[in-house]
Amino acid sequence: MTLVPGVAAVNLVFAGVGYAFLARSLRARSWAERVSWAGVALLIGAGTVGTLVFLAAIAGVRSTLAVAAACAVAAAAAGSFLRFDLPQRRARPSNSLLLGVVGAICVLGLVGGFRSAPWLDDAWGIWLPKGLALWHHGLDERLFVPNGEYVAFGVPDYPLWWSIVTSLDVQAVGDVDVRAMDAQVALLTVAFFGAVLRLLWGFVRPEVLAASLLLLACCPELWRHVQGGIADLPLAIYVALSVLATVLWMRTRAPLHLVVGAFSAAVALQIKTEGLPEIAALALVGIALCRDRRLLFASLAALATAVPWLVWRAVHDVPSRTGDVDFGRLDRIPPTLGSVFGHLLDPTEWLVIVPLFVVLALLARRPRQLFLPGALVLVVVVAYWVDRDAIRYVLDTSAYRVIDPIVLTTAVLLPLVAETFLQQREPLREDRRLVGEP
């Protein structure tokens, strides 16, 4: 195959696995409603197959298309027995112009993803080479642990989900075409827009939801990261999806939301090392906010999926980039805060997503909503504090992208706080009407 049919074939399999999990739940629904779950299905399928192949690699199996196909069949078969009651939330009709603009931008971003090669050297220097090694040799510790016989990969402690998924794309394409990495990120990003739209439909008035998605779609940094082939954006997608589904579960107590939240958290753990502290911090905040044992058990189940990789690393003495906690290095914190908030608040990167969210959360008297992205900010600051490398070097080379989970988490919570603010204003307008005020 060539690039487009190869990557498309892999993602059709991903979507098929995701739909298998949703099949019984959607059985009585219209075709239009089934199609509306495509984004959720693709993210579920990609997360499931990538994670299962990753676990197979830890067990000593090479990450081939045949192994991925077997994992997909097994996952689809198991998922077909699941059934969830989908929340019945209908939104009033609305002008679809804004959603049409969002869709057009996503199409352009998708085309750009397939037509561009990654600009970040980590993509073709670390992530994809690891995936190719897993394909040809399996998880050979001699390539992942510094030794005197082979040149080991950089950052050997990183989980391998992104390496495996992009390797499957390359195998399906039939050639080492690095554009497959950007194409895969683009597909996941477009699926993310569809998943957020589907999950929030009926919880937020359509014009607010459309405007929020348009704000994110117009961010130049989002599509720049898509064309970088970076793992930070897939990590951010699953972290934000986990937060959104969990917040919705706090409102509905619908099992589907809890499962999607825990599942997305588990996938995030398989993508990058910072996924573990980020998911752990979010779980602590979520449990503190709702104090429900079901969320505690779901969070523990998600965190448990990190154990196989942690065990493999411990057995083979894989070094970590994280240093020891040293209170003598507190001078690293001020430049970290300056760099992180500089990127978060820069309108040429992420427009006004973060400051708008903060303002609306305060105006809507929902300051607790700030705890979730705040927890992610804390994790990032601590990570830079204990990092072994020179602080200016790591900030210049990574701060602009490690904030992706913070931004996307803020972006999915933005329509919820905006809706809350508008609902609080409506009774005030009605009271003014009753007393004759304009």
Instruction: Answer yes or no: are the C-beta atoms of 418 and 212 closer than 8 Å.
Output: yes
| 93 within some domain | no
Enclosing H/E stretch for 17: helix 3-26
Total domains in the chain come to 1
Query: Is residue 95 included in any domain, yes or no?
Result: no
Integer Cα distance of 387 and 405 in angstroms: 19
Each of the 438 residues of the chain gets a pLDDT tens digit; together they read 899 999 999 999 999 999 999 999 998 888 889 999 999 999 999 999 999 999 999 999 999 999 999 999 999 999 999 898 887 666 665 667 899 999 999 999 999 999 999 999 999 999 999 999 999 999 988 888 877 777 778 788 999 999 999 999 999 999 999 999 999 999 999 999 999 999 999 999 999 999 999 999 999 999 999 999 999 999 999 999 999 999 999 999 999 999 999 999 999 999 999 999 999 999 999 999 988 999 999 999 999 999 999 999 999 988 877 766 667 789 999 999 999 999 999 999 999 999 999 999 999 999 999 999 999 999 999 999 988 889 999 999 999 999 999 999 999 999 999 999 999 987 655 544 434 444
Look at residue 26 and tell me if it is in a domain: yes
Residue 28 lies in a domain: yes
Burial 397-419 (b: 16+ CB within 10 A, else e): ebbbbbbbbbbbbbbbbbbbbbb
Domain coverage including residue 384 = 3-85+102-423
358, part of any domain: yes
256 within domain boundaries: yes
- Tokens representing 29 are 């629904």
Q: Which two tokens stand for residue 238?
A: 């699953």
In single-letter form, the type of residue at position 270 comes to Q
Cα(57)–Cα(424) distance, rounded to whole angstroms?
52
Helix axes 293-304, 255-269, angle to 10 degrees: 30
- Decide if 153 is inside a domain: yes
Q: Residue 384, SS3? A: helix
Q: Are 83 and 157 in contact (CB under 8 A)?
A: no
Report the SS3 class of residue 322. Answer: strand
Residue 398 lies in a domain: yes
Packed helices 307-315 and 38-58: angle between N→C axes, nearest 10 degrees: 30
